[in-house]
Amino acid sequence: MKQISPAAINCLKEALTSAYWYKSDLRSFLTGCLSDASLLSRLNWDDYKRNIVGNLVGFMVRNEQEYQGDLLRLMSETARISDFSHLEKLEDGRSKAQEARRAVEALRNQVSAHEEIAEAQREAEAKREEAREERLRRKEVQERLEAIKQEYYRLLSLSPQKRGYALEKLMYAVFEVFDLDPKASFRIEGEQIDGSFSFEGTDYLFEAKWEDKPTERGSLDKFDGVIRRKLENTLGLFLSINGYSEDGVKAYSGGRPLMILMDGADLMAVLEGRIDLVTLLLRKRRHASQTGNIFLRIHELLGG
């Protein structure tokens, strides 16, 4: 196996250290890039940011046989960072932003130089994607998704209140199909949570709404507050069948995204087998980590 050069590793460390000033933002970005989020739990987040980055990247390099794919993905996603406005708001922000741009540009040159390794990794990812699609094509999965889709159509005739409750149960079934270890709705300290599931080492709280209008910002505010009161490695998935108000999406796009959004078009694409739920969540999460936009629409995702 051809290894990533020490020069590229050094550029990655510098870019990660300078691109995010706050450790919480750095952790959110890393969570979106790494396939094994448990890597982050082995780090001392009370340490200096440079040491945190050095320890993480150093561990992955020492175990490159296992983590080369994550290293290449981390290099690629970091090299794509182009918005440094969050740094410009800090004291001496212009200098911090310039330093980050130089570091990311240096890493970008290294990514180009490692195209051969990256191509091999893309081929490996393509094979994994093909295997996922093959599982989706299996008769059992197709039949189960078709049954769930017919149940979804039946819900159209229900009142909004009954529809919302039934949607929670329907999504529990969808999470089961894709092995996301779902848990039913529960109540903690007076907060009603529609459910939760696990995805690539990260716990997600789940909220679903099926009203006759787009979900307003207030519902997202409430959900964000619930997420922030949980463990730091907790994120959220909000499903609103009829979409979201523009101000709500804008309010939570940028900075450190703690939730990603789905709408009815996303759900229908999953139920129709045009994309599997795991791929949908992975692409939405990576897009949010890279751009801050928490609502990547299905037509943008599929290029339609």
Residues 151 and 276 in one domain: yes
Residues 79 and 222 in one domain: no
pLDDT at 152 over 90: yes
**The pLDDT value given to residue 149:** 96
The tokens of 179 are what? 């092995």
Q: How many domains does the chain have?
A: 2
Task: Please give the Cα distance from 113 to 4 (Å, whole number).
Answer: 10
Residue 181 has phi, psi (to 5 degrees) of 50, 60
| pLDDT 10s digits, 18-63 | 999 999 999 999 988 888 778 898 899 999 999 999 999 999 999 8
Q: Are 268 and 128 in contact (CB under 8 A)?
A: no
* pLDDT tens digits, one per residue of 180-197: 888 876 454 545 666 888
Q: Are residue 31 and residue 142 in the same domain, yes or no?
A: no
Range of the domain at 69: 6-123
Residues 6+ away with beta carbon under 8 Å from 36: 67, 70, 200, 201
d(CA 88, CA 211): 40
Mean pLDDT of the chain: 87
**Do 78 and 149 share a domain, yes or no?**
no
What CATH number is associated with residue 289? 3.40.1350.10
Distances (CA, A) of 248 to 70, 199, 207, 220, 233: 32, 25, 15, 7, 23
User: Are 86 and 168 in a shared domain?
Assistant: no
Residue 131 is assigned to a structural domain of this protein: no
Terminal Cα-to-Cα distance of the chain (whole angstroms): 37
Of 74, 100, 123, the last residue of a domain is: 123
- Given pLDDT bands bounded at 50, 70 and 90, which one contains residue 267? very high
Does any domain span residue 87? yes
**pTM of the predicted model as reported, rounded to 2 decimal places:** 0.58
270-280: per-residue pLDDT in tens? Answer: 999 899 899 99
